[in-house]
Amino acid sequence: MKRLLTLAIMFAAACAAATAQQRGGQSPAVQDTLIRNATVLTVSHGTLERTDLLLRGGKIAAVGQNLKAPDGARVIDGTGKYVLPGIIDAHSHSMMDGSVNECTRSVTSMVTTRDILNPTAVNIYRELAGGTTAALLLHGSCNSIGGLSTTVKFKWGHPAADFPVLGAPPGIKFALGENPKRSNFNIPGLQPRYPATRMGVEETIRDAFTRARDYKKDWDDYRAATSRGEKNLIPPRRDLELDPLVEILEGKRYVHSHCYRADEILMLINIADEFGFKVRTFQHVLEGYKVAAEIARHGAGASTFTDFWGYKMEAYDAIAYNAAVLVRHGIVTSVNSDSDERARRLNIEAAKTMRYGGLTEEEALKLVTLNPAIQLGIDKRTGSIDVGKDADVVVWSAHPFSVYAHPEQTFVDGELLFDRQADIARRPQLEAERKALEAADANRAPASGGTPPRTPPSVRRAYTDDDDVQDVQEDNQR
């Protein structure tokens, strides 16, 4: 037992050292970095050949040619490489380790994803390795009105408090269709939950906003009476469920709504118009091409898949041209992952839209950089290569739309959080430590005596917006 504990401590120390190396061996100061002679895909103002990029103080300090490296700066030879702003995932469930859905009620606007962030989740590092630097962490989709969302940067090696993006507009998750009406799915041991139809989903949302509107009026009347100097007033009772909905009515909280079918998209637009708020993004929105004009007229954004469909009935009537159709209607459109795995390859998802729909290179790049930044309300800080923006930057081995390209370095706020060469150099040591831990655990007798238990296969939990928990054994999804 002592041997196992010692090995575990050694492994934890090695991981901490690896993290320190990954972060440039420094904290809290961030080393300046000069990337020389790269092809810079700014996203906002074209492609710059043979260009230098200076990252200083966590910001993009300069973009140009023949820039001088500050004393002590890290210098990266970008010859033959491409620099892209960090990829932003507008629909993620990373860092939540299965606590994606609070399914016990139809309206759970009182819960928040911020409470369950796990800064040690390995998918953070893997997504950095794929060039993803920021994401919108959403509640799941088993509720008509779900929990509050959190916009984060993937600050691997930092405490959870460092992940949320300061000043990012708050958001909330809605869901329409099969998931909130619990098609073919109910929690074992619990009675079937209302709603069970799309009619019920619409009524649930309308009822919640009717209550929120009345609640807001009670508070407005109370505050008005207080401002007039009236005495002995009793304030309305605080309602944690309705507070976020009042923020929506006041234009202070973004609505991000899971949806698939055209009819349910129009339904939510009608409710939003009725109560005087805007839907910020329709998520998935696989039939958005059918009602693109209506989405554009409402002023909503769209965050979709490129060619992922057919996994349930409401996802059948989809086309690979959806993103391009939405863009052509002037809708701020992004391509999201809804998957820890797809989040590592969003560059390729964006590239597909050049083939399916004929988007230009810059339009396709925006789908995973500037456009999701706009949807999350953080485009003044990140999403493009512009002086003064946060230094969320990725150095790619080749053009990021090539299937052969991979990130060489990933920076978040100027901090080097993924370095491919450092990662490769660490692998033999980590593999040796893993084998030592496995051997020590396999040889340890159980407390009750007898033979050691059979070592189970590695099991990875994959959580998606459809709130299905899929066991993945030996990387084979069943």
Q: Is residue 449 part of a domain?
A: no
Q: Is residue 474 part of a domain?
A: no
Q: Do 286 and 366 reside in the same domain of the chain? A: yes
Q: Do 52 and 31 reside in the same domain of the chain? A: yes
* Burial class of 53 by CB neighbour count within 10 A (0 to 12, 13 to 18, 19+): buried
Report the pLDDT value the prediction gives residue 22, as an integer from 0 to 100: 45
Q: Is residue 473 part of a domain?
A: no
Q: Do 12 and 64 reside in the same domain of the chain? A: yes
Look up residue 386 and give its amino acid: D
Q: Do 4 and 51 reside in the same domain of the chain? A: yes
Q: Do 231 and 358 reside in the same domain of the chain? A: yes
- Give me 424's structure tokens: 């490769």
Q: Are the beta carbons of 339 and 389 closer than 8 angstroms?
A: no
Tokens 């009515």 sit at which residue? 249
Q: Is residue 417 part of a domain?
A: yes
Q: Is residue 319 part of a domain?
A: yes
Q: Are the beta carbons of 301 and 331 closer than 8 angstroms?
A: yes
The helix (run of H) or strand (run of E) holding residue 292 is helix 292-298
Q: Do 378 and 392 reside in the same domain of the chain? A: no
Look up residue 434 and give its amino acid: R
Q: Do 78 and 171 reside in the same domain of the chain? A: no
Q: Is residue 151 part of a domain?
A: yes
Bridge partners of 129, per DSSP, are none
Spatial distance between the Cα atoms of 424 and 433, rounded to a whole number of angstroms: 15
Q: Which of 33, 72, 137, 118 is nearest to 410 (CA)?
A: 33
Radius of gyration of the chain (CA): 24
Report the pLDDT value the prediction gives residue 461, as an integer from 0 to 100: 53
Question: Buried (b) or exposed (e) across 436-446, using 16+ Cβ within 10 A?
Answer: eeeebeeeeee
Q: Do 97 and 209 reside in the same domain of the chain? A: yes
* Residue numbers of the chain with a pLDDT score lower than 50: 1-14, 16-18, 20-27, 459, 468-478
Spatial distance between the Cα atoms of 351 and 84, rounded to a whole number of angstroms: 14
Spatial distance between the Cα atoms of 336 and 338, rounded to a whole number of angstroms: 6
CB atoms near residue 37 (< 10 Å): 16
- Give me 240's structure tokens: 């944690």
Domain assignment of residue 172, given as a range:
87-382
CATH of the domain at 17: 2.30.40.10
Bridge partners of 54, per DSSP, are 34, 62
Look up residue 175 and give its amino acid: A
| pTM confidence score | 0.88
Q: Is residue 131 part of a domain?
A: yes
CB atoms near residue 261 (< 10 Å): 22
Spatial distance between the Cα atoms of 375 and 371, rounded to a whole number of angstroms: 6
- Give me 26's structure tokens: 């420094």
CATH of the domain at 309: 3.20.20.140
Report the pLDDT value the prediction gives residue 406, as an integer from 0 to 100: 98
CA 140 to centroid of chain Cα atoms: 12
Q: pLDDT tens digits for 266-324?
A: 999 999 999 999 999 999 999 999 999 999 999 999 999 999 999 999 999 999 999 99
Q: Which of 341, 340, 339, 361 is nearest to 350 (CA)?
A: 361
Q: Are the beta carbons of 244 and 111 closer than 8 angstroms?
A: no
Q: Do 359 and 429 reside in the same domain of the chain? A: no
Q: Do 137 and 107 reside in the same domain of the chain? A: yes
Q: Are the beta carbons of 444 and 4 closer than 8 angstroms?
A: yes
Report the pLDDT value the prediction gives residue 4, as an integer from 0 to 100: 45
Assess whether the previous peptide bond of 456 is cis (omega < 30° from 0).
no
The helix (run of H) or strand (run of E) holding residue 283 is strand 281-284
Q: Do 257 and 311 reside in the same domain of the chain? A: yes
Q: Are the beta carbons of 378 and 134 closer than 8 angstroms?
A: yes
Domain stops at, among 360, 382, 404: 382
Q: Do 181 and 57 reside in the same domain of the chain? A: no
- Give me 469's structure tokens: 């928990």
* Dihedral angle sign, alpha carbons of residues 384, 385, 388, 394: positive
Q: pLDDT tens digits for 113-157?
A: 999 999 999 999 999 999 999 999 999 999 999 999 999 999 999
Number of domains in the chain: 2
